[in-house]
Structure 1
């Protein structure tokens, strides 16, 4: 007959200690670094701030959303949101594999050809038209602007989704050569355009920062409403896409996305 195996208490204890040490050495969850960038001239998605240490930093809705996503899922870590880049460079970075996500983009053809989208919208905005305060123009809809012809030039920002939307509407005169709101506001005052179309929140802040509250007014009509999403590289792994999507679902359900958006209302 074979003898039963015998284990000494010391060997059992040693084995348990070794197993515990090996378990502690295993990572609780692999942190995934997600590369992005702060889009220039996109206030309040990204805004220049002074942090608690008194140093210049980048804040805004997108930074708040990404920090909230990291809190919801500690395995997500966004990097690059403290570096300014123009939209064209961000898109180029995506193609080169240096950018993984862009925060706050619309479902328009130019974007869907480059990015895949998380299903949960980050926020919705209204596009408003700004005019000179002394301009008595009154328009009810986009047809009224079309009828103005060359007297109805709409200023917009180069590379921004609103340019694609206005162009698709047809018959509108668009000047998208400027790369910042302050440039378009100056062009508006100089008569180099009749309207400046930009999103709210954002356009009111730009007017205040330029000190032009008494020189520029916002029209109530016409308006456009657009949803903005988290855009992700099409080469991103399905598991990471799932994790990003799940974190946004959680933030939408617990009301955090709404709270972040409301902090930046004009």
Structure 2
């Protein structure tokens, strides 16, 4: 009996130690479905599924409150160390100042959305520049793609909208000519009831602006996260590449 109690005590002690040794990482949730979203009232999406996978296969625990955080606030939290990690970020020189970029998770391309009745008499960013006030581009505030769009001389960019929902509402209301964002998010939004009857997707030639063509999305860490933790997460992602590819496919195959 004493031996059984001793073994039980040792087992509980080991389980307790295992829990205490978990690597806890704080993160923010971004309003960029299908990366982060609610499904049947529960957190879901590519980012959530990747974090769940890492928790199931490794000694990690992700801490977050499921509320959408604006892009600029996410950057501020990563810079201060309040947030440790972000799943699915494009690498930019500005972000490299305060974040360490790890493994690539998936790639996106950038497309445009116009009103359904728009003849879209433009094919390239040069065409949009020539249109002047009739070629205003709507873009998400704080997004990497927005920073790239703003660097195009002569292109008029309205970044007052923080997310896809806001910008599509602005577009429907006649504010702006085209909304530009990545194919992953726009593809998801176009599946929502009513959007296909109001909008259509158009391809845009971004010419020499490489950052707006195929763009890798990475896992990113605050520079305050220990190098050992960064290495462990990156290693776990490499080992889980097949499963991560399946997660991305699940949200993009429809």
Question: TM-score normalised to the size of structure 2?
Answer: 0.85
Residues in 1 aligned to 2:77 and 2:193: alpha-carbon distance in whole angstroms: 31
Spell out the pairing of 1:186-197 with structure 2 (5 A cutoff).
186-197=169-180
**C-alpha contact 1:182 1:210 (8 A) present in aligned 2:** no
Structure 1: which 5+ runs fail to align? 1-13, 51-55
Distance 1:116 1:23, change over 3 A: same
Matched, 1:88 2:88: no
**C-alpha contact 2:75 2:95 (8 A) present in aligned 1:** no
Residues in 2 aligned to 1:178 and 1:109: alpha-carbon distance in whole angstroms: 23
Distance 1:156 1:134, change over 3 A: same
Match of 2:38 in 1: 48
The answer to which structure has the higher helix fraction is: 2
Residues in 2 aligned to 1:91 and 1:134: alpha-carbon distance in whole angstroms: 37
Matched, 1:262 2:252: no
Rg comparison, structure with higher value = 1
**C-alpha contact 2:112 2:202 (8 A) present in aligned 1:** yes
Q: How far apart are residue 182 of structure 1 and its match?
A: 2.2
Given candidates 48, 60, 66, the residue that maps to 1:76 is 60
Residues in 2 aligned to 1:201 and 1:79: alpha-carbon distance in whole angstroms: 25
Q: How far apart are residue 160 of structure 1 and its match?
A: 1.1
Q: How far apart are residue 233 of structure 1 and its match?
A: 0.8
Given candidates 81, 88, 107, the residue that maps to 2:91 is 107
Given candidates 46, 51, 57, the residue that maps to 2:42 is 57
Match of 2:125 in 1: 142
Match of 2:210 in 1: none
Spell out the pairing of 1:118-129 with structure 2 (5 A cutoff).
118=102, 120-129=103-112
Residues in 2 aligned to 1:38 and 1:128: alpha-carbon distance in whole angstroms: 23
RMSD of aligned alpha carbons: 2.5
Spell out the pairing of 1:221-232 with structure 2 (5 A cutoff).
221-222=204-205, 224-232=213-221
Equivalenced residues, count: 241
